[in-house]
Amino acid sequence: MRARSYVRKVVADAVTQRTDVRSTVADADGPPGDAPDPIDPAAQPEVADPVETVAPTFGPGAVEPGTVHVFVGADRTRIVLAGEIDTELADDLHDAAAAAEHAHQPIEIDAHHVTFMDSSGVAFLARLSTRSTTPVRLIRVPPTVRFLLEVTRIGELLDVVDDDDPGTEL
């Protein structure tokens, strides 16, 4: 019983002194008088603070910040989405929807360069499709967005075009 309480004390001391618990406990065979001297904390390598992991901004695996651009043409409004369409773009998506609605023209959304979309992007598409007087046309849809359209069934509210045909230039 006495040895167990000694081991607990050695572990507690090692934690408070930032020493190597394994070597101190392994060498502890007897009562406190027989215990080895604790390892010098100054000799121990310092533990680095956790480093924030940042995704690369170029090359493979790069995170592309999301962008929203609204182009009002003579006969339609085109919204171009690119990069990651997520909650960070919520205000921009809201402003783009308001600008497109204010133009009172058919709306096209070019999603060719979208790399990620969360519920903010899906809500944006749903808002446009329910408020527009004409079907909202979604062109050049990448597989990630197409998957979301199918799962959420928002694609049923949109005119999804597989390819960008010649009539889609502003």
Return the pLDDT at 88.
Answer: 94
Assess whether pLDDT exceeds 60 at residue 125.
yes
- The pTM score is 0.61
CATH 3.30.750.24 fits 67-168, yes or no: yes
Render pLDDT for 1-41 as a digit per residue (tens, 0 to 9).
Answer: 444 444 445 445 544 555 444 444 444 444 555 554 555 55
Return the pLDDT at 59.
Answer: 58
Return the pLDDT at 158.
Answer: 95
Domain ranges (residues) in the chain: 2-43, 67-168
Q: Which residues contact 35 (CB under 8 A, 6 or more apart)?
A: 6, 10, 24, 27, 28
Render pLDDT for 36-88 as a digit per residue (tens, 0 to 9).
Answer: 455 555 555 555 555 454 455 555 556 678 999 999 999 999 999 999 999 99
The C-alpha atoms of residue 77 and residue 56 are separated, in whole angstroms, by: 33
Query: What is the β-pairing status of strands 77-85 and 107-117?
Result: parallel
Q: Which residues contact 78 (CB under 8 A, 6 or more apart)?
A: 70, 71, 107, 108, 109, 110, 170
DSSP for 61-83, please give it: TPPPPPEEEEEE-SS-EEEEEEE
Bridge-partner residues for 84, per DSSP?
116
Return the pLDDT at 42.
Answer: 56
3-state secondary structure (DSSP) of residue 143: helix
Read off the amino acid at residue 100: A
